Amino acid sequence: MSVLPDFTLPELQFVRLFQNCIKAVRIWLVATSGFALFSCDNYRPAEPPVIQYVKIANVHRDTVVAIPNEKSAVTARIAFTETLSDTAIVRISPDTAFSQHGSVFLLPITNPTLMYISGLSGDSLFLQYQPYKRPISGNLTIEIEFQK
């Protein structure tokens, strides 16, 4: 007496087809996981971001600051932390004449957004701060994150 139920021929064919599909899936999983391990052979962790903080020491005076672009990044993200009492202008450019493509910001910024400068070349980024009205008070720190 058999413990297994009696299968008809179409049912047996379906069971064999199902077993073959399971085997194929197992082979595929082993092959893809081996490929994934092989492709991660040259993995290296990402470099930490290069972030420069520029604090304007005297918000009453015009200031020009050179910021080193040590890793020759092509994009810079700009963020401001400021508590200025009145209007000021900040120019950021890859040249000292501030003639190449760069950015001009009018402070204070009421709704700060992420601001990017792309297409950087050279080993420095230049920042020019000018108070628009005097007297002006408060603090200004500019965060520049260089990105490849």
Could you report the per-residue pLDDT of 52-82, keeping only the tens digit for each?
A: 999 998 888 999 999 999 888 889 999 888 8
Residue at a domain's end among 27, 44, 61: 44
Cα of 29 vs its chain's centroid, Å: 33
Of the listed ranges 38-52, 83-97, 117-131, the least confidently predicted one is 38-52
Are 78 and 126 part of one and the same domain?
yes
> E strand or H helix at 13, and its extent?
helix 9-39
Q: Does pLDDT of 2 surpass 60?
A: no
Q: Which of 119, 109, 97 is nearest to 142 (CA)?
A: 109
Q: Does pLDDT of 10 surpass 70?
A: yes
pLDDT tens digits, one per residue of 27-56: 888 777 766 666 666 777 888 888 999 999
Residues ≥6 apart with Cβ < 8 Å to 134: 60
Q: Which two tokens stand for residue 7?
A: 């299968």
Are 35 and 81 part of one and the same domain?
no
Cα of 18 vs its chain's centroid, Å: 47
